[in-house]
């Protein structure tokens, strides 16, 4: 049996996807070519790309009112490309950012190079009950400007383990960094105007970035925006202004077919809720471990936890690896442990983790 991989990203992929990709590695559908060897403009690859887009649209529930793009550069590149493409929606070149953790903080900082960026709300300051970035600023606390071109939020902070998805319908476009919980639950695109996501959590391997943007927002990119990153040009040319990340798109397409076979995002939502509840319920009943995120903001994708005695951290990780539980070390900026339980992590993996944690507590508590 394979070990259980709790990496925050690049993360575990469905075994069925890996097996299919291995079987097709040197000869895709009797073409005599690997997908890595195909021209990106060949009919074979166009079939792969078109099916990936169609399946992604179906899973997300987005209509033709939205462009669906496959880009390079990772989600961090979108920290620059979002303002380069969308700040021009308003003459004042303003945008409001909600800061709920490390990744949204980076997004806001990068955007300052391109316009007037305002922090509409932040959870960096601790409250009487919760520490820095351990809760999510509720929409009623957002200080939004009437002339902002858009409002930017991060739906899930992988480092702090904070998640929020109950977006209000705003009077200005809402842009969502959905990198670490896309396809884990339904997203309400009636309230979302643009979403971007690095694929390497729930939507494929690293190397391809997804952008879903309302077509009514296109046509406002800066003149300095490179053509290969101009959303309007990318939409018109089916993400092929230049050679796209072909193999990563192929792999992502296999993931979307796997998700559809599992029952789609509604089925994944139920599975992810069950996995998260199993681990959180255990954390809440023990003093040996702790999670310090506000319950209403707890992520179902990334669950950070601390041992009551930090001197046991190295031993915990050593024994976990020996037990086939991999990549549980927390982010270097916060320490502790982190279990990332994305779509491809089955309930059995979380059960194995909880049983290991109980046994480790029994021996060292």
Which amino acids are annotated as binding site for pyridoxal 5'-phosphate, given as ranges? Answer: 103, 158, 177, 200, 242-243
Pick out the residues of the known binding site: 41, 103, 158, 177, 200, 242-243
Is 201 designated active site?
Answer: yes
Q: Which of 55, 177, 193, 235 is catalytic?
A: 177
Q: Specify the residue for token string 């955007």.
A: 111
Q: How far is CA 178 from the centre of its chain?
A: 5
Q: Which of 103, 193, 235, 329 is catalytic?
A: 103
Residue 210 near residue 203, CB atoms below 8 Å: yes
Residue 218 near residue 81, CB atoms below 8 Å: no
Is 130 designated active site?
Answer: no
Torsion over CA: 233, 217, 264, 198 (sign):
positive
Q: Specify the residue for token string 């309230």.
A: 191
Rounded to 5, what percent of the chain is helix, strand, coil? 40, 15, 45
Is 332 designated active site?
Answer: no
Q: Specify the residue for token string 């003149």.
A: 223
Tokens of 290: 């702790």
Over the Cα atoms of the chain, what is R_g? 21
Pick out the residues of the known binding site for L-glutamate: 41
Q: Which of 4, 94, 96, 201 is catalytic?
A: 201
- 3-state DSSP call for residue 20? helix
Q: Which residues are catalytic?
A: 103, 177, 201
């Amino acid at each position: 049996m394979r070990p259980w991989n709790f990496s925050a990203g690049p993360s575990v992929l469905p075994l069925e996807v890996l097996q299919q990709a291995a079987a097709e590695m040197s000869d895709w559908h009797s073409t005599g070519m690997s997908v890595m060897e195909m021209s990106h403009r060949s009919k074979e690859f166009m079939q792969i790309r078109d099916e990936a887009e169609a399946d992604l649209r179906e899973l997300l529930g987005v209509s033709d009112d939205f462009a669906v793009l496959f880009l390079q550069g990772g989600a961090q590149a979108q920290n620059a490309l979002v303002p380069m493409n969308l700040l021009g929606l308003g003459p004042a070149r303003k945008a409001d950012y909600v800061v709920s953790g490390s990744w949204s903080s980076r997004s806001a900082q990068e955007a300052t190079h391109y316009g007037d960026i305002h922090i509409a709300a932040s959870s960096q300051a601790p409250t009487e009950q919760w520490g820095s970035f351990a809760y999510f600023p509720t929409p009623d606390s957002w200080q939004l400007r009437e002339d902002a071109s858009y409002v930017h939020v991060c739906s899930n902070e992988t480092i702090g383990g904070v998640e929020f998805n109950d977006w209000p319908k705003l009077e200005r476009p809402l842009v969502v960094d959905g990198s670490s919980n896309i396809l884990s639950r339904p997203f309400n695109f009636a309230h979302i105007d643009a979403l971007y996501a690095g694929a390497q959590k729930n939507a494929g391997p690293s190397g391809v970035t997804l952008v879903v943007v309302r077509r009514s927002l296109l046509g406002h990119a800066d003149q300095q925006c490179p053509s290969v990153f101009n959303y309007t040009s990318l939409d018109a040319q089916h993400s092929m202004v230049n050679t796209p990340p072909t193999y990563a798109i192929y792999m992502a397409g296999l993931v979307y077919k796997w998700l559809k076979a599992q029952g789609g995002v509604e089925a994944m939502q139920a599975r992810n809720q069950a996995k998260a509840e199993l681990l959180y319920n255990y954390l809440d009943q023990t003093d040996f471990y702790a999670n310090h995120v506000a319950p209403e903001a707890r992520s179902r994708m990334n669950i950070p936890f601390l041992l009551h005695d930090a001197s046991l951290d190295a031993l915990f990780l050593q024994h976990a690896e020996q037990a086939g539980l991999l990549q549980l070390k927390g982010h270097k900026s916060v320490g502790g442990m982190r279990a990332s339980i994305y779509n491809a992590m089955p309930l059995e993996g979380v059960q194995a983790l909880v049983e290991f944690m109980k046994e480790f507590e029994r021996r060292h508590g």
